[in-house]
Structure 1
Amino acid sequence: MNSTRAHRIVFANEKGGTGKSTTAVHVAVALAAVGHRVAALDLDTRQKTMARYLDNRAATGRRRSLDLPTANHGVLSLLTPAGLDQEVARLGHGADFVIVDTPGRDDPLARAAIALADTLVTPMNDSFVDLDLIGQVDAETFKVKKPSFYAELIWDLRKVRAKADGGTVDWVVLRNRLQHLDAHNMRRVGAALNELSKRVGFRVIPGLGERVIYRELFPQGLTLLDIDAIDRVGLSLIAARQELREMVAGLALPDHSAQVRMAI
């Protein structure tokens, strides 16, 4: 990829349990699988889920003599915005993409990371509980009343970014864990998100479904791309790979979409 610096993809959501780290790892591996140089930085110094996932991946590669595409990764040690700038620059040197996974809370580091993003990805579970983070909905009509505090925060940080270097932040809201049992509620959430997207300025794309396979893959650090290394391959895995294909394409990252669609 021809670029003066790495494209920065930041995964951020103040709520936990949205599949943020799992999604970040799958995007990192999808990009590495087609030859991009990928770096990954974990800001969650307590749980370190993304870093642990990639550590497990490296250990599996060594143990089973597998050449698994991966990202050069680390955990932020200097917990200041200046430290974040330094580590993103260090990891990003010579890389095509830097992926940053933020903790599931609001803190100065998460805000600083959002302001650095070229692509900001906010995974959310497909429910009104998670939707409340970015927009308040009328209890009777399910129409959006107004954007919530997180949408206002992102709006302010996008202005910070524009003032700092003239850059823009492509904000993508990712509908993870889509359920098919409650289709009526799913349509209501979708309609509210579409309305909010026009008012606040984000794109909505489908994410990863609620599947046991993701929890099973974590200890070995494997992803849906590692089909030859997975013991049992069934229809569920095939469906999950299609979800991953659509999600990565929907991110519309520079110079990769066609390659990744062919690789998955």
Structure 2
Amino acid sequence: MSMEALRGGVAVITGAGSGIGEGLARVAAEYGMKVVVADIAVDRAQSVASAIVEQGGEALAVKVDVSTPDSIDALAATVHEHWGDVTLLVNNAGVETLGFTWELSTAQWEKTLNINIHGAIHGVRAFAPRMIAAGKPAWIANTASIGGLGMMPIQTSYILSKHALISFSECLYLEMQIKQAPIRVSAILPGPVATRIFQDGGTTIDTGSEQHRVLMNAMLEADGISGYEAAQRILPQIAAGDFWVSTHPEITREMAAGRAAHLTALGNPALPVEVLRGMGLSIDGE
């Protein structure tokens, strides 16, 4: 399959008001898709949709709160009423929350898991039945992270949610095989991409969490590719039917190999030396 297979179809992308989601919306429109720009920040969604229309594309901005199943159901109803069958669903919306596990409030935990995990689950629940019933080739992609192949303290709520999304995507892939549905499933594992995730992310009140946020945000700003460039790498892989979709293949392979070796050895959790240094922690022998 190639990008031509997506042309003329309808793309629904959550978290499309900025970052990778915005990039995916713009690239999908450039390839002739009708794009639903879904985001909780409706002003951002409208801005992206307007830019697409100004460039000759078709786009519809819709406000959605993916942490609320009813809001996702309303999104699905709006899309099907406006444009009919959905060709591409990208469950992309996500948040970053920093803090020690026991210091995050109930509200912070619920918000993070509801957006990052349940948002994708209910996105599939709301859209997949009609996609299957249509009997036409279609694509579902869930935005996880290379963090889903590793571990990182302070980012616990985010990291565990991305592990969960990889597992969810794997099981969904197998379920589509059992149903013999012409729907391809992908897990997107972005590497360093300069988005608003650390700017918009919440933290606990301790200075360590705030320092970690500043450090991670600075790293992405210095080394991260743009959301648009990430989307240019991501969408062709989705169209090709790849399950593992990466913005930085070499980093992804390295992370996957490291995870496999760690599990094979049943090793204790540990961080690389360079990460420890970056967090200001002492290292044996230094």
TM-score of the superposition, structure 2-length normalised? 0.45
Structure with the larger helix share? 2
Highest CA radius of gyration, 1 or 2? 2
User: Which one scores higher on RCO, CA 8 angstroms, separation ≥ 6?
Assistant: 1
TM-score of the superposition, structure 1-length normalised? 0.48
